[in-house]
């Protein structure tokens, strides 16, 4: 099932079970390797170079190829609906309208502790994606002890509407979202809200894609 979010030119889908099982295997192996000194504050492991240049990036030996195939298939669907590449670049490059070659700029794994969050930000490249792997809570059970905001534990896109007003689209990404993937323009601002009612990690995989230099 593909859910298109037209307001922010994004789409959400479910990974096939085989790919998700490969991902789960890689995540399980990474969990065994995590040391306390790899944790950045109370938030992330392997999040972003701007956090700590010395963080080592875990590989995904079992699932990397399957993830890349799934992402590229969804980008093709995204292009068919939104024609994003042409709309963004047809006046500045000679890239043909058909789907060009994409290059995975980076793929990384996020491990977040309870209370951890990702502030509003955007990515480099042309496209970005996120996969929800291990989400140790359901939104209906999230405690109001720290916050009565309904966005606790969610993922949110933030954008300006046709009137120039700031708008948002919330994805209720709790345990029921395990195995789902979102693909969206890399420049689209987004953020992840903290969760509280669990002592386990929230684990997601993210990545960016850029145009292959040979395709330009």
User: Tens digit of pLDDT for each residue in 126-135?
Assistant: 999 999 999 9
CATH class of 2-215: mainly beta
**178-210: per-residue pLDDT in tens?**
999 999 999 999 999 999 888 888 999 999 998
Model confidence band, residue 45 (pLDDT cutoffs 50, 70, 90): very low
Contact (Cβ atoms closer than 8 angstroms) between residue 191 and residue 118: yes
Averaged pLDDT, 24-40: 74
What does the pLDDT look like over 99-150, one tens digit per residue?
567 899 888 888 888 888 889 999 999 999 999 999 999 987 655 555 556 7
Q: In whole angstroms, give the CA distance from residue 39 to residue 77.
A: 36
Residues 152, 145 contacting (CB under 8 angstroms): no
- For the chain, give the longest Cα–Cα distance: 55
pTM, entire model: 0.85
The confidence score (pLDDT) of residue 50 equals 34
Could you state, in order of their start, the residue ranges of all structural domains in the chain? 2-215
pLDDT of residue 83: 84
Listed in sequence order, the residues at least 6 apart from 93 whose beta carbon sits closer than 8 Å to its beta carbon are 216
- Give the pLDDT confidence score for residue 105 in this predicted structure: 87
10 Å CB burial of residue 133 (0-12, 13-18, 19+) is: buried
Whether 175 shows a pLDDT value over 60: the answer reads yes
Reported confidence tier of residue 77, pLDDT bands at 50, 70, 90: very high
């Amino acid at each position: 099932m593909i859910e298109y979010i037209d307001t922010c030119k994004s789409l959400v889908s479910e990974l096939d079970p085989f790919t998700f099982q490969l991902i789960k295997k890689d995540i399980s192996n990474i969990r065994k390797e995590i040391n306390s000194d790899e944790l950045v504050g109370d938030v992330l492991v392997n999040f972003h170079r701007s956090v700590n240049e010395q963080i080592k990036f875990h590989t995904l030996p079992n699932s990397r190829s399957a993830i890349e195939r799934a992402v590229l298939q969804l980008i093709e669907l995204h292009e068919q609906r939104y024609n994003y590449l042409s709309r963004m670049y047809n006046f500045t490059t000679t890239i043909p309208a058909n789907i060009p070659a994409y290059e995975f700029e980076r793929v990384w794994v996020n491990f977040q502790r309870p209370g951890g969050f990702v502030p509003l930000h955007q990515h480099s490249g042309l496209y970005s994606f996120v996969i929800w792997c291990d989400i140790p809570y359901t939104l209906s059970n999230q405690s109001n002890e720290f916050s009565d905001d309904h966005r606790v534990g969610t993922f949110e896109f933030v954008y300006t509407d046709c009137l120039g007003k700031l708008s948002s689209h919330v994805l209720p990404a709790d345990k029921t979202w395990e195995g789902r993937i979102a693909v969206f323009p890399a420049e689209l601002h987004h953020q992840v809200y903290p969760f509280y009612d669990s002592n386990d990690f929230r684990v997601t995989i993210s990545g960016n894609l850029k145009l292959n230099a040979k395709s330009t």
